[in-house]
């Protein structure tokens, strides 16, 4: 049992190396990969995360998972390149906004959302691992808005890789869409899906289930079902806690449950955490799962925080597996029930474990607007609507023990309309977005049919 060999949450996939996990994303039995055993950090090692660079912190965490996949030099180089194009040297700065409350700013990368922190590393590691394995890779990413541009920024122009990004048509912000569709790299293919993010995600799963096709094109997922992303995201929980010098309550704007599960991962690695707070918008499947004990998905509806307009939180499978004492047979049966019935009653024991770690609040658009406005009035800072969902949830926790850290997941300039509604003016446009609206867009609109998407991919790969 070690932390660089991986098993599937559904128990019917062979053990995999880090390189295999990285290059495939989803396990062949439909489950999600986790390390056989979590790496452990002792008290002194945890404290030491305070005095080192973010890149060094990332190395200390990732090297526990990568095993023999990369040499020390390769991993260091990959991490250095990944964070070379960030706007601030701290990479993930912690900003006090009053009374023991902090924003952990995760949006200083190339596409101005937290997805860059993990996808930049993933892109670097991916091209190295692919060069060693040989052959080509076809990457498919379903995006609720930010994963797509971050994947394009990380993988656009790389040799032997094609990137297909599917976003729900009309359900991402204009800035988000343009960040994807204005890419000039010939290996980037944008699909506007006539459906929701959940439809896009289920098409990705259907394409993976078509194992002939998957093998033929070397299909890979870079959504947060890819464990490499979770590993890279766990780093900022460790650095933030070390900087504060005591255990924190982390409030996490949640959609697919990847970012918050990275907090659970840090916890399993030995990090003391007070609580993990799930903050959802009115697509509140995760809040209902925790508070009512039933994980049931309805239809996602549009909100001011589109990157969280999700009704199936893929990474919740990982949390369920851990809360069920890693019972893969139960997890496989439970996930099959959920796929069939779109509903899963969570057993009392599992629910009690989840509630030992997580709390959950759902915040609607009115609360989102109010949080942007109060934060601006009190601190002069403009926050984005996703961060605002976190801030609104944090307001409900007057008596939280320890510092409260709200993960600030996107730059406000990605969502100018929501910000303008709250404070009367749009945020200043940062250099990275300047002139975006003048560039030509490349995108194919397709219906939500796995067969048609598969044909589109095959045709583009032959071209
Ligand atoms: C993706 C995203 C989220 C949700 O993160 P998950 O890992 O899917 O829970 C929150 N905010 C922003 C801005 C995002 O892009």
Please, which pLDDT band fits residue 154 given cuts at 50, 70 and 90? Answer: very high
Question: Residue 463: pLDDT above 80?
Answer: no
pLDDT at 140: 94
Q: Say how many CA atoms lie within 13 Å of 94 toward its Cβ.
A: 20
Question: Ligand 1 within 6 A of 138 CB?
Answer: no
| Per-residue pLDDT band at 189 (split at 50, 70, 90) | very high
Q: For residue range 216-229, what is the model confidence (pLDDT) as tens digits?
A: 999 998 888 899 99
pLDDT computed for residue 300 by the predictor:
86
Task: Give the pLDDT confidence score for residue 398 in this predicted structure.
Answer: 75
Do the Cβ atoms of 70 and 77 come closer than 8 Å? no
Written as six digits, the tokens of 56 are 């060094």
Q: Are 155 and 126 in contact (CB under 8 A)?
A: yes
Q: Are residues 155 and 123 in contact, defined by beta-carbon separation less than 8 angstroms?
A: yes
Contact 115 CB / ligand 1 (< 6 Å) = yes
Give how far Cα 169 sits from Cα of 149, 199, 283, 302, 309, Å.
15, 11, 18, 12, 13
Quick check: is 101 in a domain?
yes
Domain count, the chain: 1
User: pLDDT for 386-439, tens place per residue?
Assistant: 999 999 999 998 788 899 999 999 999 999 999 999 999 999 999 999 999 999
Domain extent, residue 348, equals 94-113+229-423
Mean pLDDT of 153-166: 95
Q: Give CA separation, 353 vs 126, 322, 324, 358, 462, in Å.
A: 35, 9, 8, 9, 49
User: What is the full DSSP assignment across 7-29?
Assistant: EETTS-S--EEHHHHHHH-B-TT
- Is residue 263 within 6 Å of ligand 1 at its C-beta? no
User: Would you state the pLDDT for residue 399?
Assistant: 80
Going from the Cα of 23 to the center of ligand 1, the distance in angstroms, rounded, reads 22
Residue 155, pLDDT score: 96
Q: Which of 255, 284, 309 to mutate to test the pocket of ligand 1 (most atoms within 8 A of CB)?
A: 255
46 within domain boundaries: no
What mean pLDDT do residues 282-311 have?
Answer: 93
Average pLDDT over residues 65-90: 97
pLDDT in tens, 247-281: 999 999 999 999 999 999 999 999 999 999 999 99
Q: Annotate 244-276 with b (16+ C-beta within 10 A) or e (fewer).
A: beebbbbbbbbbbbbbbbbbbbbbbbebebbbb
Count how many Cα atoms sit within 13 Å of the Cα of residue 358 in the half-sphere of its side chain: 30
Ligand 1 proximity of 368 Cβ (cutoff 6 Å): no
How many residues does the structure list for the chain?
463
Return the ligand 1 atom nearest residue 384 CA.
13
Pseudo-torsion of CA 363, 365, 370, 375, nearest 10°? 70
For the segment 288-300, the average pLDDT, to the nearest whole number, is 93
Does residue 217 lie within any of the structural domains? no
Distance CA 368, CA 133 (A): 46
Residue with token string 């984005």? 384
CATH of the domain at 277: 3.40.50.1100
In a domain, 445, yes or no: no
409 CB near ligand 1 (under 6 Å): yes
Residue 442 belongs to a domain: no
Q: Answer yes or no: pTM beyond 0.85.
A: yes
Residue 68 lies in a domain: no
Atom of ligand 1 nearest to the CA of 259: 7
- Confirm whether 181 is domain-assigned: no
Residues assigned a catalytic role? 115
300 within domain boundaries? yes
CA distance 211 to 201: 17
CB 277 within 8 A of CB 250: yes
Tally of CA atoms within 13 A in the half-sphere of 306 that contains its CB? 25
């Amino acid at each position: 049992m070690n932390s660089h060999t991986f098993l599937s949450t559904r128990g019917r996939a062979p053990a995999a190396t880090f390189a295999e996990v990285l290059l495939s994303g989803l396990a062949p039995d439909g489950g999600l990969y986790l390390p056989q055993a979590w790496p452990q950090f002792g008290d002194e090692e945890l404290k030491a995360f305070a005095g080192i660079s973010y890149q060094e912190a990332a190395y200390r965490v990732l090297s526990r998972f990568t095993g023999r996949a990369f040499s020390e030099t390769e991993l260091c180089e990959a991490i250095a390149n990944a964070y070379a194009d960030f706007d601030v040297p701290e990479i993930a700065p912690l900003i006090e906004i009053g009374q023991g409350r902090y924003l952990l700013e995760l949006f200083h990368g190339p596409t101005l959302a937290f997805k860059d922190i993990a996808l930049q590393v993933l892109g670097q590691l991916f091209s190295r691992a692919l060069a060693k394995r040989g052959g080509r890779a076809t990457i498919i990413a379903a995006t609720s808005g930010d994963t797509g541009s971050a994947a394009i920024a990380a993988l656009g122009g790389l040799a032997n890789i094609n990137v297909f990004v599917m976003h729900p048509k009309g359900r991402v912000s204009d800035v988000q869409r343009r960040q994807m569709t204005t890419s000039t790299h010939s290996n980037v293919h944008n699909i506007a899906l006539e459906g929701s993010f959940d439809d896009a995600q289920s098409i990705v799963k259907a394409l993976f289930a078509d194992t002939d096709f998957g093998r033929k094109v070397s299909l890979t997922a870079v959504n947060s079902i890819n464990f490499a992303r979770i590993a890279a995201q766990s780093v900022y929980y460790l650095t933030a806690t070390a900087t504060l010098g005591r255990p924190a309550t982390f409030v996490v704007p949640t959609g697919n449950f990847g970012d918050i599960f990275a907090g659970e991962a840090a916890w399993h690695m030995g990090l003391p955490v007070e609580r993990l707070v799930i903050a959802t918008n009115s697509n509140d499947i995760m809040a209902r799962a925790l508070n009512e004990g039933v994980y049931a998905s309805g239809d996602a509806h549009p909100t001011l925080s589109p990157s969280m307009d999700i009704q199936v939180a893929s990474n919740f499978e990982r949390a369920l597996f851990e809360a069920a004492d890693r019972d893969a047979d139960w997890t496989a049966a439970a996930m099959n029930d959920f796929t069939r019935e779109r509903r899963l009653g969570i057993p009392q024991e599992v629910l009690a474990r989840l509630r030992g770690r997580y709390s959950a609040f759902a915040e609607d658009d009115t609360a989102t607007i109010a949080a942007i406005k109060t934060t601006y009035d009190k601190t002069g800072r403009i926050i984005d609507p996703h961060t605002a969902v976190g801030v609104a949830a944090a307001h409900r926790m007057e008596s939280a023990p320890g510092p409260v850290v709200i993960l600030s997941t996107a730059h406000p300039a990605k969502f100018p309309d929501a910000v303008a509604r709250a404070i009367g003016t749009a945020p200043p446009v940062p250099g990275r977005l300047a002139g975006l609206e003048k560039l030509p867009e490349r995108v194919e609109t397709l219906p939500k049919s796995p067969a048609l998407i598969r044909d589109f991919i095959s045709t583009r790969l032959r071209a």
